[in-house]
Each structure stands twice: as C-alpha cells, then as structure tokens.
Amino acid sequence: MKRLLLAALLACFTLGLSAQVAIPVTFQGEKPTISDLAWAYVNYESTPAEGEEEEEECADESARAVKSAMTRQRANEALDLGETLSIDLRGGFVLYEWKDVDSDTRLRIEMCYWNESDGKHKLFACGTYYFDGDQYSAGQFDGLTFYRYDNAAKTLTWTDDIGFEVEYGTDDDAWVTYDLPRSGKNITVNYWYGNGTHKQKTLQFDGRRFSF
C-alpha cells in the first residue's frame, strides 16, 4: 500500500495549494463551455508555482499533456501518436487518452461540469487515471478533483463541498477510480481488487452535491 500512501500525500499537497487560488475563466458569450473551463484548469495545473522550475514535478504532467493536445487541436495540428482528444461542447464533457504504442498502458483524463440548482454556480471535475489493459494501475497524478465555478466572479475555486469524500483506496485493499458522466448527472465509482474483481457503485447528483 506504499503507492496508495504516496498518492494520498500528493493529492493532499496539491489540494492544499489549489484551495488557496481562484482560477480566472475567460470565454466569449454569456457562459463558459466545458472547453473554457477545461482550458482554465489545465493552464493552472500545468504551471509551476512561483519560484519553481518548469521541469519540477509540482507542475502536473497530465495537465500539461491535455493543454498541449488542446493547443494543437485548436491550431488544427495533428496530435502525437497514441493521443486522442474529444471535446463534447453540447454534452459538457472532455476525454483525453494517451496509449503507449509499445504496451497496454494508457492514461485517461475526463472532465465535465454540472449546472447547480441555485443558478449561480457550476461544479467542475477532473479525473485522471492510468490503466494497464483493462485493469487500473495507479499513477503519480491520479485522482479526482472538484472546482466550483462562480458565475458572477467568473472563477474556479477548489472545493471539497461535494457530499462525499474522494477515496484512493479502501480498507479491504481496493483501489478506487471514478467515471464522470458523458450523459446524465451521476458518477460511477469503481473498486479494483488485486484478484481482478471489479465492483461499482453510483453517486447521484442532487443539484449541489453527490450521495450514494
């Protein structure tokens, strides 16, 4: 479980920094699209903190990959071998995948948002996970993070006010991943066990938070 402990420590460190920052979102029109929210997020996550070098690990490499892919897609340039990027503006969903051409390793990054029932906020999420074939294989930057977008301030701010605690692992030694919704509003929770067993639960959205 050393890898689990490392992942949890890295996540706590990252979230502690994120909680202090309001990320500005720029867009055209009356409201931001998923592309606008994703662009603001990856720009922030891929930028080293003040006083740190570009190559230092505190700049999220997975966010850099998405930022690079979005930049090239906007310029109508080809993505790197093994990369795919899908941005569903109408559905409010982004999917980035990178596959190692020499192995079954793949990186999967999902982003989406929910309109909150108060009409004043959106909830934005990003999930990052590595897989080896059909099985989850924990990576350094894996995890699920949430930001709340304020319509008036036009900023994203990290939040844990989501109704549940994001898990990386369970007491019975399962790794945990989360599938964000391409359609609908609910999140699928995946439990991956060392014996190959895979279980799922559903988190339902109530207009502000999630619950089982």
pLDDT in tens, 124-173: 999 999 999 999 999 888 999 999 999 999 999 999 999 999 999 999 99
Q: Report the distance separating Cα 110 and Cα 127, nearest Å.
A: 5
Please provide the average confidence, as pLDDT, over all residues in the chain.
Answer: 89
- Which spans in the chain are helix H? 2-18, 34-45, 61-74
> What tokens appear for 116 in the block?
């909150």
Q: Residue 150: which H helix or E strand, with range?
A: strand 143-150
SS3 170: coil
pLDDT-derived band of residue 18, with 50, 70 and 90 as boundaries?
very low
What is the mean predicted confidence (pLDDT) over 61-81? 96
pTM of the model: 0.89
Backbone CA torsion sign across 75, 182, 38, 179:
negative
DSSP 8-state secondary structure symbol assigned to residue 183:
S
What is the mean predicted confidence (pLDDT) over 1-26? 58
Q: Is the pLDDT of residue 3 over 60?
A: no
pLDDT at 56: 46
What are the sequence ranges of the domains in the chain?
Answer: 2-163
pLDDT at 50: 61
Q: Could you tell me if 65 and 71 are in contact, meaning their C-beta atoms sit under 8 angstroms apart?
A: no
Please give the torsion angle defined by the CA atoms of residues 149, 94, 43 and 72, in that order, rounded to the nearest 10 degrees: -150
SS3 108: strand
Q: Is the pLDDT of residue 8 over 80?
A: no
pLDDT at 140: 82
Backbone CA torsion sign across 73, 74, 75, 76:
positive
Q: Report the distance separating Cα 100 and Cα 123, nearest Å.
A: 32
Query: What CA–CA distances, in Å, run from 187 to 28, 80, 127, 147, 203?
Result: 29, 30, 11, 16, 5
Tens-digit pLDDT profile for residues 98-119: 999 899 999 999 999 999 999 9
What is the mean predicted confidence (pLDDT) over 4-12? 46
Query: What CA–CA distances, in Å, run from 130 to 96, 103, 166?
Result: 12, 13, 17
Residues 6+ apart with CB under 8 A from 183: 91
Q: Is the pLDDT of residue 204 over 70?
A: yes
pLDDT at 141: 84
pLDDT at 14: 47
List the one residue out of 173, 169, 204 whose CA is nearest residue 188.
Answer: 204
